[in-house]
Amino acid sequence: MTIPTLTSKDAHFDYVLRLGDDALILAQRLGEWCGHAPALETDLSLANIALDLIGQATMFLGYAGELEGKGNDADKLAFHRDVNQFRNCLLVEQPNGDFGRTIARQYIFSTWQYLLYQQLARSTDPRLAEIAAKALKETTYHAELAAEWVVRLGDGTAESHERVKDGFEWCWRFVDELFSVQPLDPSIVTSGVAVDTATLRAAFDSALATTFAEATLPLPKFPRPVLGGRKGHHSEHLGHLLSDMQFLPRAYPDAVW
Amino acid sequence: MYTTEMSKNPARPAAPSEAPELVAAFEARVANDEFIEPKDWMPEAYRKTLVRQISQHAHSEVVGMLPEGNWISRAPSLRRKAVLLAKVQDEGGHGLYLYSAAETLGTSRDQMIEALHTGKAKYSTIFNYPTLTWADIGAIGWLVDGAAIMNQVPLQRTSYGPYARAMVRVCKEESFHQRQGFEITMKLAAGTPEQKAMAQDALNRWWWPSIMMFGPPDDNSPNTAQSVRWRIKRETNDELRQKFVDVTVPQAEAIGLTVPDPDLKWNEERGHYDYGAIDWDEFWAVVKGEGPVAKERVKARIDAWEKGAWVREAALAHAAKQASRRQKEAANG
Amino acid sequence: MANEPNTQTANEWPLWEVFIRAKHGLSHRHAGSVHAPDGEIALRHARDTYTRRMEGVSIWVIRSSDVVASDPGSAGPTFEPAESKVYRHPTFYVVPDYIKHI
């Protein structure tokens, strides 16, 4: 019996899957707001972010399918994998909660994704560099919008201050995962394909400090991190999200839509 | 999406206090195909009819986000998901344009939303029907948006400027909505037997509500004559309904689906399809709020509004703080 | 859609008028309105509402209550005096056909 060893091809596939799954799962969550946001204008803003993320997911997952080489396209990967095959971070699968938590999650994610795409746009993998360069513009906008809302909620009313603070409290345990879990094979970082996310932490902390000062929010003491998303060990929430999202292609496996 | 006049009480023609020469000048401008703008003099009945019609139209767009929104999380491919989300988002945008147009007539968006939540204002009856399968998303785009386009295209030349301009934007954006719905239905009709059955079932359920959307027959539609004179309405309910039936039946046939009306047949003499009797009792019941999911729709809107209150307040509070900070800086500077 | 005053409900986000430059070289044109708590968010809302189909390269927003508009009741005195000044238009002047480039 031979034990399969990891090749950097697998690690490459796994890495692109992470990027695609992050975008897909967060888009799915944001889509839940459609028709239910605090104001019509806010509804449109959240949908725009979701649409950008669906676009990013489609590009990353399409490329992941090519790297995998088993004939799977983006839809096959999105709709026919089980929960333990998803590689998104735990943060994006967290339920929306109230608008405060949604904004907290968006702020953390988009700020991180902005720093990530800045680096990824210089990847030695031209496909990744190209997708990241396009997506960077979208993500810049998401991060700015989220920061503006963090400030308004933090420095708004006593109630909004508490609510957005609670929103962040919910999310803090998932922050370390964004920076500490490295790709499966260090060689795809050293070869310049993937980004060493640990190097993004200082810039993230400094952005957070600026926004939180303006928002009159106390800086967090980060709790013990919860990890696992990058190897398929998710929260209980993801399975429910997938059972909803994947229902049709699973119920009608022969159908084309 | 669109709405039709659903009030059974005709608007009074002219308040007695209105100067006849102003009324006459107004009527002449409208008859001359001129546009009326927000600060122009207008009869009270015109203002009221417009506020009711435009806000009803806006409410229909916003409530209309819910039945289709019900399938965003379950759209069967990434492409379908993006298209559906973009379409439902467009409807929110259309509601926004229309609320803005109504606001120029001296009512606030909050007042209109309040009227929707208390049941004082109506919205299109069609959205009080549930979306049970993915095929319903196809049927809504194809039939409901198809009906909407018929009504909205002539409204681009309606007499009230802000309403006409909102409709120009709506029509431009909505041109893809019907096509995406038809594409979904066509794909299902050509798909597996289960998919085809799903498409036929959706057509069966949505056909009659769709043709009811054009509103009561002309002889029972009290405001039609005045609204047509004022160019708030360009064609009558029955004219639009006939047009819709005439273009939609061949589309159904072309993809192998059957319109669920045993009395439907081509009338060579009239050059139109004859269609069966419409159940107007059902229509008026749905107008009154007795549609199958009317309670869910209104509750969803009220919940969103109430759960968003603290966000809206917070943003205002922050703006006030910022303004007073700027004032202090200016005073100290 | 320059709004009539006093239509805003007390705790409603104020209304902003949105102007969009469709292409470089063109002037900004009125596109519509949005509600927003402040100018920064008004710009976001304008972008998310009115430029979803590549309609613009630049946006202005202005509080609707800050728009100063002419009164339609005085449209006569405001605009009709211009009607009698046809000499401001090139067609007023007779130049023979054989004179070119003028």
Delimit the domains of chain A by residue range.
9-251
The amino acid at A13: F
* Residue of A54, A165, A240 to mutate when probing chain B, most B C-beta within 10 A: A54
CB A115 within 8 A of CB A102: no
CB within 8 A of B81, min separation 6: which ones?
A27, A31, A54, B72, B75
CB within 8 Å: C1 and B104? yes
Question: What's the rounded Cα separation, in Å, for the pair B145 and B250?
Answer: 17
User: Using CA atoms in the order B73, B75, B79, B81, what is the torsion angle rounded to 10 degrees?
Assistant: -30
CB within 8 Å: A48 and C37? no
Percent of chain C with pLDDT over 70: 91
Neighbours of chain A (3+ CB pairs under 8 A): B, C
Q: Decide if B291 touches C, using CB distance below 8 A.
A: no
User: Using CA atoms in the order A194, A198, A202, A203, what is the torsion angle rounded to 10 degrees?
Assistant: 20
Please give the residue of chain A at the shortest CA–CA distance from B87: A47
Alpha-carbon gap: C97 to the closest alpha carbon of chain B (Å):
38
Q: Which residues of C sit within 8 Å Cβ distance of A?
A: 13, 34-37, 40-41, 44-45, 48-49, 52
CB pairs under 8 A between B and C: 74
Nearest to B86 among A42, A51, A153 (CB): A51
pLDDT tens across the length of chain A (257 residues): 555 566 788 999 999 999 999 999 999 999 999 999 999 999 999 999 999 999 999 999 999 999 999 999 999 999 999 999 999 999 999 999 999 999 999 999 999 999 999 999 999 999 999 999 999 999 999 999 999 999 999 999 999 999 999 999 999 999 999 999 998 999 999 999 999 999 999 999 999 999 999 999 999 999 999 999 999 999 999 999 999 999 999 999 999 99
Class of CATH domain C15-88: alpha beta
Please give the residue of chain B at the shortest CA–CA distance from C72: B40
Question: What's the rounded Cα separation, in Å, for the pair A48 and A69?
Answer: 32
Q: Is the dihedral of CA B323, B325, B326, B330 positive or negative?
A: positive
φ, ψ of residue C93 to 5 degrees: the values are -100, 135
CB within 8 Å: A43 and B92? yes
What's the pLDDT tens digit per position in B220-236? 776 678 888 898 888 88
Domain residue ranges in chain C? 15-88
End-to-end CA distance of chain B: 53
Q: In this model, does residue B128 exceed pLDDT 90?
A: yes
Please give the residue of chain C at the shortest CA–CA distance from A145: C44
CB within 8 Å: C7 and B107? yes
CB within 8 Å: A148 and C41? yes
Q: Is the pTM of this model over 0.90?
A: yes
Q: How many CB atoms lie within 10 A of CB C84?
A: 7
CB B228 within 8 A of CB B158: no
CB within 8 Å: B39 and C69? yes
What single DSSP character describes residue C86?
G
CB within 8 Å: B74 and A79? no
Question: What's the rounded Cα separation, in Å, for the pair A212 and A200?
Answer: 18
Question: What's the rounded Cα separation, in Å, for the pair A50 and A138?
Answer: 11
Residue numbers in C near B37 (CB within 8 A): 72
Nearest to B82 among A51, A100, A248 (CB): A51
Q: Which residues pair with C34 in a beta bridge?
A: C16
A15, A124, A30, A105: which is closest to A61 by C-alpha?
A15
CB B60 within 8 A of CB B127: yes
The amino acid at B221: S
The tokens for A116 are 């990530």
Is the CATH number of domain A9-251 3.90.1170.50? no
Nearest to C48 among A45, A148, A152 (CB): A45
C40, C50, C53: which is closest to C18 by C-alpha?
C50
What's the pLDDT tens digit per position in B145-162? 999 999 899 999 999 999
What's the pLDDT tens digit per position in B181-216? 999 999 999 999 999 999 999 999 999 999 999 999
Question: What's the rounded Cα separation, in Å, for the pair B132 and A24?
Answer: 25
CB A241 within 8 A of CB A190: no
The amino acid at A45: S
Q: Decide if A95 touches B, using CB distance below 8 A.
A: no
Question: What's the rounded Cα separation, in Å, for the pair A176 and A187?
Answer: 22
CB within 8 Å: A39 and C41? no
Nearest to A44 among C40, C41, C48 (CB): C48
| Per-residue confidence band for C71, with pLDDT thresholds at 50, 70 and 90 | confident
Alpha-carbon gap: C101 to the closest alpha carbon of chain B (Å):
38
pLDDT at C2: 45
Q: What value does the mean pLDDT take over residues B80-102? A: 97
CB within 8 Å: B78 and A244? no
Please give the residue of chain B at the shortest CA–CA distance from C12: B110
> Looking at the predicted complex, does its ipTM rise above 0.90?
yes
A92, A217, A239: which is closest to A152 by C-alpha?
A217
B180, B64, B126: which is closest to B292 by C-alpha?
B126
